[in-house]
Structure 1
Amino acid sequence: MSLRPEEWPEVPELTARVARAAAARGAPPLAMRVRDELGALFADAEFAVAFGRRGRRGWSPGRLAMVTVLQMAENLTDRAAVQRVRFDLSWKYCLGLELEDLGFDASVLSEFRTRVVDHGLEERVLDLLVVALKEKGLAKAGGKQRTDSTHVLAAVRELNRLELAGESVRAALEALSAAAPDWVAQALDVGGWNRRYGRRIDAYWRPPGSQAQRDQLALDYGRDAVALLRAVYHPAAPPWLRQLPAVQTLRQITVQNYLITTDNSGAEVVKRREADKDGLPPGSLRLTSPYDLDARYGGKEDLHWTGYKLHISEVCQPPRPKDEAPPQCRQARPPVPNVITHVATTDATVPDVKLVEPVHHALATLGLLPAEHYLDSGYASAELIVGSLATFGIALVTPLLTGTSRQYRENAGYQREAFAIDWDARRATCPQGATSRFWSPARQKGRDVIVVRFDQADCVPCPVRAICTNASRWGRQLTLRPRPLHELIDANHTAQGYQGWQAKYALRAGVEGTIRQAVAVTGSRRARYRGLGKTHLEHVYSAAALNLIRLDAWWNGQPLDHTRTSHLARLDLTLAA
């Protein structure tokens, strides 16, 4: 498919006249409003690198990007989106199409997404939209922004280790049977393999019974995987079979979950890996499905899922003072809309704290760094608070977690704050008056710390030893951060107790409504596509769609609504007004 970048056509006169006549009453549809306010938002030249210069002329990639954004705004399938292009007046108006234009085939959208991902253009749409809003004064540097994350389920079934082992063999057999049926017929017992892998591996359909039966079935899957891989890698087999993605995936999953050893007699044994004895790969590397190699198994408190994380950053406006707030149940329209400025997608194992610097670098590229960035404790660390202010001039408004020691977990005994620290003398004094004997700088988990330890002779006879420490070989031990970070942490913990800080930090809670909007409107909770690249593309285009929806409401003067307000509570507020 070739591309000759060109300007979007003006809206044809007949299309414009009919569309405006149909929208004469009330506010115009979203697609029409976007074209009138923002014009040809996505230029073809921005996507030129993804298309060749020779070959069949393709549909305008800029307009395909707009179609995809509108598709996300209405949570449509590809076929439904193509139907809108063909029959919806507002979409024809937005795209500048004649009334008789038949649009394009639904497969064009899939090919467009693939080209965009392959050439690293996933974020281009949101960046172009944000830059356009910046030029119109609807987004600017400084001010306040907030970021939060939510879990995203991969577009594959969630498999346990037993199902994963069997389904990986089945996926490889399916790929081999499609690519080289003659070789499969000659090299394998097709009937036997079909009886075991003719239908998908699912514990619901094949309940394995007792633990002994499950263990035996896991070993059977492992032996079959090894046998199939050896057949494919046999010198007589066509070499290109080894390059099939499903075969490579089977090889990786087998290595991650099985060991080949020998017993006392020297016979070969295929053994299932045990986490405590043989070790398993870290979660960031461990495959969870033979069909989506980027999805990972993640957890947060009581929530566990297979898939990804979505991080959303948006502009936020401080609430109006109570004496200026309108009496209605809805908030007044903000001076500028709360624009989503950046989205990031990671696999489910990446901690939130790893995203702060990448988000700031992305916002700096757009010239939209905030003065204050509101984050929850999952994004926070003392190093980031200091580094963000020094590097980007951003003040992180975020609570820092307390310690992880037994005293903090049980909220009892003497916590670190109960000890007096003399930095100049390099010693600590406990509440009972004993002073520390050891002061040792060290590195723990890649961070600089100071280990402070009290002498056992002071701690053993102490009358409050039971609530202070349960160490048997030495006395109480403290782990401190270097002095500047230690003082920053103490100041942060002190500030968190004041109502003024808590009222200021309440602004962060509004991002929960944005996540709810993304889930309810664009279906962001479940990935549409497989792979990190296309899942991120979905999130970027969904964010652009949410921005257009918010802009449409802002242009129409629609005030913001309270989040998590029941119908009964809304009625109560209305009657009170």
Structure 2
Amino acid sequence: MQPRPFPALPETTARVARTAFRKGSLYLTIGDEIGHIFDDEDFEDLYAVEGAPALSPAQLVLVLIFQALENLSDREAAEAVRARMDWKYALHLDLEDTGFDYSVLSEFRNRLVQEQGAQRVLDRVLERMRGLGLLKERGRQRTDSTQVLSVARTLSRLELVMETMRLALEELAVEAPGWLRQVAQPHWVERYSMVWRGNRMPKSKAKRAELASSVGEDGVYLLQAIADEVAPERIVHLPAVEQLQRVWEQQYEEGSVGWQWRPAGTLPPAAELIATPHDLEARYAKRKGKNWTGYRLHFSETCDPAYPRLITHVELTPALQPDVAAVDTIHQGLKQRGCLPGQHLVDGGYMVGHTLADSKGKYGVDLFGPAPKNTTWQAKQKGGITTELFQIDWERKQVTCPQGQVSSQWSESHTRHGQPTIHVKFPAATCRACLCRTRCTRSKDGRALQFAPSFPALKEARKRQQAEDFWEQYAPRAGIEGTISEAARKHGARKSRYVGLQKTWLQEILLASAINLERAARWLMGDRPALTRRSRFATVMAAV
């Protein structure tokens, strides 16, 4: 590819569009006020040095952003490039430009995914926002998460194994049809020629278990036939065959009466368990009464009153990864593009001791939100002596209780999640003689404490939460829920269009870039975020 400068706006396009949109337009504002965002050089590494001239990647990425802005299909987006003068204006295309085939968009997305080019799209948009003075240095930001459904539907365990077997047979029918005719069992045609859905499944539990066992034996028979030395060598490494092997290892075990379901307690960890053969990275998850197969999406956005609300980071994780595990990655990404906030508003799911300490120590960010509650019995009992009341001497590795007694043991280890933790014990004889024993410990061996090195940060967060103005300072965090709702309802953020985590992440990056361009354009047009709507009745009664 030979990079070309971003084209100048054709005179005819400018004249006709400005005549047609006398009161202004979102896309005209993007073209005029926001202006130059991308260069071909930004995506030069996506293409071969030699070959046929490529369509301008700087224009193609704008098309992908506009597509996300209006939640269009590839065909609809390609048609909009041909038919809409406001798009032609923002893209600097001549009115007579005939556009391109819709398949170009899919090919360009694949290039962005394969060459890790997704993040640079949002980075360039944020650079332009900074150049326009729309990003505040070390301001306030807020983050929240939501679920993203895989493009594949959620399957039961029985549907999973039957669909996995069906896909393996479909691929073998293409790659080795003659061999498959020789090994296929007569009943396979009826059982695996169509997709099985819930309404076709046996109704009784016993019959479903019988079918599951029979499907398990079918899969084992097929895998053994594939492993036989007379089978074509190439079929062993077919994706659908390798997938069949993995699913069978996860779902079945050989019993005394054939292949049976693994009991729930012997299944692999949920993070490793394949949920659908159509998207091997999607995982089944449950949270707050909702269950889905897919991923988890984190949006971070600015929330300073004198600036537009701009999305600064998009993080897509496996569905089962807790929110707290994303905090460091989010801050690292914000640091790389110079967008770290001074204060970061989050809900309780992101607030634990080590995220509080690391945010402040590594990034200079004040992680602000409701701290985890102390759930010990001492915290629930009136006058209970909680860990917060003990004085910790980190240098001497000693702890002093409220009665002035000093600990006798200090040991360090790690939790099952790999986080460092400290264990402290007080002499049993000292605790037995203490008048405060009933409010401090129920153990015969004396008071024992367990806390993390980050405990001081957690203690400070709990103390801050008791301040009168805490919830007033925390209130702006709720605005991120509105952004997520807008992204989901208007742009389809909660439903993946593509297979795989990386392609879905690109979808969300483009969507975030689109929201940023729209919000920046509206801001430059004088349109400011409105306050929460209040009914006339509520307004009248407030004056009483």
Both proteins in one fold, TM over 0.5: yes
Gaps of 5+ in 2: none
1:490 partnered with 2:459: yes
Secondary structure at 1:41 match in 2: coil
User: 1:194 maps to what in 2?
Assistant: 189
1:109 positional shift: 0.8
1:569 partnered with 2:535: yes
| Deviation string, structure 1 residues 499-556 (Cα, Å, up to 9, x no partner) | 2122112122211111111112211011111100100000000000000111122112
Of 365, 386, 408 in structure 2, the residue corresponding to residue 417 of structure 1 is 386
Per mean C-alpha deviation after superposition, the further-off stretch among 417-426 and 495-504 is 417-426
Gaps of 5+ in 1: 318-333
Secondary structure at 1:499 match in 2: coil
Query: Aligned equivalents of 1:60 and 1:11: distance in 2?
Result: 15
Pick closer, same or farther for the CA change 1:94–1:441 going to 2, 3 Å: same
Secondary structure at 1:310 match in 2: strand
Pick closer, same or farther for the CA change 1:509–1:13 going to 2, 3 Å: same
User: 1:179 maps to what in 2?
Assistant: 175
User: 2:51 maps to what in 1?
Assistant: 55
1:532 partnered with 2:519: no
Q: Which amino acid aligns with 2:264?
A: A
Pick closer, same or farther for the CA change 1:336–1:434 going to 2, 3 Å: closer
User: 2:124 maps to what in 1?
Assistant: 128
1:299 partnered with 2:297: no
Q: Which amino acid aligns with 1:307?
A: G
Asked if 1 retains the 8 angstrom alpha-carbon contact of 2:29 and 2:525, the reply is no
User: 1:450 maps to what in 2?
Assistant: 423
Per mean C-alpha deviation after superposition, the further-off stretch among 179-188 and 215-224 is 179-188
1:170 positional shift: 1.0
Query: Aligned equivalents of 2:279 and 2:66: distance in 1?
Result: 26
Pick closer, same or farther for the CA change 1:469–1:270 going to 2, 3 Å: farther
Secondary structure at 1:108 match in 2: helix
Query: Aligned equivalents of 2:384 and 2:108: distance in 1?
Result: 57
Q: Which amino acid aligns with 2:412?
A: A
| Deviation string, structure 1 residues 408-440 (Cα, Å, up to 9, x no partner) | 6xx45775628842546946658xx89798644
Asked if 2 retains the 8 angstrom alpha-carbon contact of 1:413 and 1:468, the reply is no
User: 1:228 maps to what in 2?
Assistant: 222
Pick closer, same or farther for the CA change 1:404–1:463 going to 2, 3 Å: closer
User: 1:45 maps to what in 2?
Assistant: 41
Secondary structure at 1:149 match in 2: strand
| Deviation string, structure 1 residues 380-434 (Cα, Å, up to 9, x no partner) | 22222222222222222122202344666xx45775628842546946658xx89
User: 2:68 maps to what in 1?
Assistant: 72
Q: TM-score, normalised by structure 1?
A: 0.85
| Deviation string, structure 1 residues 348-397 (Cα, Å, up to 9, x no partner) | 01121222222222222212221111122211222222222222222221
Alignment coverage as a number of residue pairs: 537
Secondary structure at 1:204 match in 2: helix
Q: Give me the CA root mean square deviation.
A: 2.9
1:149 partnered with 2:145: yes
| Deviation string, structure 1 residues 301-349 (Cα, Å, up to 9, x no partner) | 32222111111111111xxxxxxxxxxxxxxxx5321111111111101
Q: Which amino acid aligns with 1:506?
A: A
| Deviation string, structure 1 residues 234-257 (Cα, Å, up to 9, x no partner) | 222222212221111111111111
1:123-522 pair list within 5 angstroms: 123-189=119-185, 191-206=186-201, 208-260=202-254, 263=256, 269-276=258-265, 279-317=266-304, 334-405=305-376, 411=380, 417=386, 420-423=389-392, 426=398, 439-445=409-415, 446-452=419-425, 455=428, 477-482=448-453, 485-522=454-491
1:27 partnered with 2:16: no
| Deviation string, structure 1 residues 268-293 (Cα, Å, up to 9, x no partner) | 842322233xx222222211110101
Secondary structure at 2:267 match in 1: coil
User: 1:320 maps to what in 2?
Assistant: none
Pick closer, same or farther for the CA change 1:133–1:434 going to 2, 3 Å: closer
Query: Aligned equivalents of 1:290 and 1:364: distance in 2?
Result: 37
Query: Aligned equivalents of 1:252 and 1:293: distance in 2?
Result: 11
Asked if 1 retains the 8 angstrom alpha-carbon contact of 2:378 and 2:386, the reply is no
Asked if 2 retains the 8 angstrom alpha-carbon contact of 1:416 and 1:478, the reply is no
1:137 positional shift: 1.6
Q: Which amino acid aligns with 2:241?
A: V
1:182 positional shift: 2.6
Secondary structure at 2:293 match in 1: strand
Q: TM-score, normalised by structure 2?
A: 0.90
